[in-house]
Amino acid sequence: MKPVYLAGRALASVLGLTLDQALSNLRNKTVPSATVYRLPGQCAVPYQRITNPGDGDGWDARARALVTRVAADAGATGARHGALFIATSCHDGNTAEHSQGDMDFHALSRRIGDWLDWCGPIFLISSACTSSIQALLSANEWLQASTNTHALVLGLELDNHLTVPGFAALQLLSPDRSRPFALDRNGLLLGEAVTALRLSTQQTAPWLLRGGANVVDGSFPTTASAQSVKQMCQRALASSGLSTTDVDLIKVQAAGSPINDAREAEGLCATFGSMPALLSLKPLIGHCMGASGVAEIALLLECLEQRYWPRYPDAADPLLGVQLAEQAPERQHVVLAAILGFGGSHAAVVLEHSPP
């Protein structure tokens, strides 16, 4: 197996248009307030929307401004002859949402390729919340089978006419904020993200993609399965040649859902004899759907390198048997990053800190 490194990363989110802005806002406690999303005939809900120069110019203008920015920040120019893996679950705002035609992901991927002047093959993956983790696993497989040394994973999740109303109809949204693993958790907080991870088989960065796994269990189409969470962790670690005792930190899904958080906690307790430190990033940027896996990895690694640890003010639910860590673990060598999604998809990757 070739080693694959996370050679570049970038994120635009509610925290800012760059990772530097995100960390500055977090440290200074100047995180922008959530946008109020007003649903027709229903109560308003908070939504973590990106503020960017393309605002007001239409879906394509916003997407292009953000995609070109994050791709450049991640060093995409040097990867243009490699493969581009686009991960999204949002709908094209200029077609299906305005009754101008069917949703066409092929056309979307072609436009994004044009925006980036991409020369290599382009793939688009849309598997709801796990899209970008699936894209990351696919990019790793492509690099293993290719003579090329670079690939770019691009996560794209922007406002559309389906996601927020759909989650609201399922009664899955919080009326105020995300409270992962908390006693009074009351639903999800959705958000936008455009993010990129540049992968390379040449060691130019300290984080190595060791392996990962995706487990699909349709027994519970809209929630996680505890057994599948366990299988996901075990298979991801087995593919990495590691065991549960090697894991120092788990970036959990934990979005504040009463049922999903409980099933995730049950699966983790069944997997780990001694629980590693747990961290959730959903309260900071919202649940960014198809982009969430890569977005949260980009933010997580920045937080670890800049020695920032989120604070969680809500009391943990004692029935879950887990709680989010109050401070960073002393050892941060092996990280398991997981995303759980609709359709019974449970996906995770294992990252290892391997300084040059």
pLDDT tens column, 134-155: 999 999 999 999 999 999 999 9
**Distance between CA atoms of residues 78 and 75, nearest Å:** 6
Q: From the centroid of its chain, how far is CA 239?
A: 21
**Structure-model confidence comparison of residues 13 and 162, the more confident one:** 13
Three-state SS string over 243-311 comes to: CHHHCCEEECCCCCCHHHHHHHHHHHHHHCCCCCEEECCHHHHCECHHHHHHHHHHHHHHHHHCCCCCC
Boundary of a domain, candidates 200, 216, 239 = 200
The stretch 190-203 carries a mean pLDDT of 96
Largest CA distance in the chain: 56
Please report how many Cα atoms fall inside a 13 Å half-sphere around the Cα of residue 106, on the Cβ side: 1
Helix (H), strand (E) at residue 110:
helix 105-115
**Run of H or E residues at 38:** none
Same domain membership, residue 150 and residue 281: no
Q: How many domains in the chain?
A: 2
Residues 150 and 260 reside in one and the same domain: no
Phi, psi of 201 (to 5 degrees): -85, 0
- 10 and 137 in one domain? yes
196 and 211 in a common domain: no
**Domain that residue 60 falls in:** 5-200
SS3 206: coil
Residue 42 has what pLDDT? Answer: 64
Same domain flag for 302 and 346? yes
The single-letter DSSP state of residue 13 is: B
Sign, CA dihedral 324-237-286-207, equals positive
Region 220-236: mean pLDDT is 93
- CB atoms under 10 Å from CB of 333, counted, come to 13
The arithmetic mean of pLDDT across residues 262-273, rounded, is: 97
Structure tokens that stand for 185 in this block: 């958790």
- Interatomic CA distance for residues 350 and 338, integer angstroms: 9
CATH classification at residue 220? 3.40.47.10
Mark whether 238 and 187 lie in a shared domain: no
CB 12 within 8 A of CB 69: yes
The Cα 232–Cα 214 span in angstroms is 6
Q: Which residues contact 191 (CB under 8 A, 6 or more apart)?
A: 13, 14, 47, 48, 49, 157, 285, 286, 287, 288
pLDDT band for position 169 (cuts 50, 70, 90): confident
pLDDT tens sequence across 53-98:
666 678 888 999 999 999 999 999 989 999 999 999 986 544 454 4
Examine the pLDDT at 323 and tell me if it is beyond 70. Answer: yes
Same domain for 154 and 215, yes or no, is no
pLDDT band at 174 (very low <50, low <70, confident <90, very high): very high
Range in 215-229, 277-291, 322-336 with the lowest mean pLDDT: 215-229
Q: Which residue has the tokens 């130019």?
A: 204
Last residue of a domain, one of 155, 173, 200: 200
Residues 190 and 217 in one domain: no
Q: How far apart are the C-alpha atoms of 350 and 297, rounded to whole Å?
A: 11
pLDDT bracket for residue 162 (50, 70, 90): confident
Report whether 99 contacts 92 (CB < 8 A): no
92 shares a domain with 227: no
3-state secondary structure of 321: coil
The whole-angstrom separation of Cα 323 and Cα 183 is: 10
From 148, 176, 200, give the residue that closes a domain.
200
Round the average pLDDT of the chain to a whole number and report it.
Answer: 92
Give 17-54 pLDDT, tens digit per residue: 999 999 999 999 988 888 888 776 667 889 999 987 66
Same domain, 185 and 280: no
Q: pLDDT value at position 204?
A: 87
Please tell me whether residues 189 and 268 are part of one structural domain. no
Percent of the chain at pLDDT > 70 equals 94
Say whether pLDDT at 342 is over 90.
no
Q: 187 and 211 share a domain?
A: no
Q: What is the pTM of this model?
A: 0.95
Give residue 198's pLDDT.
98
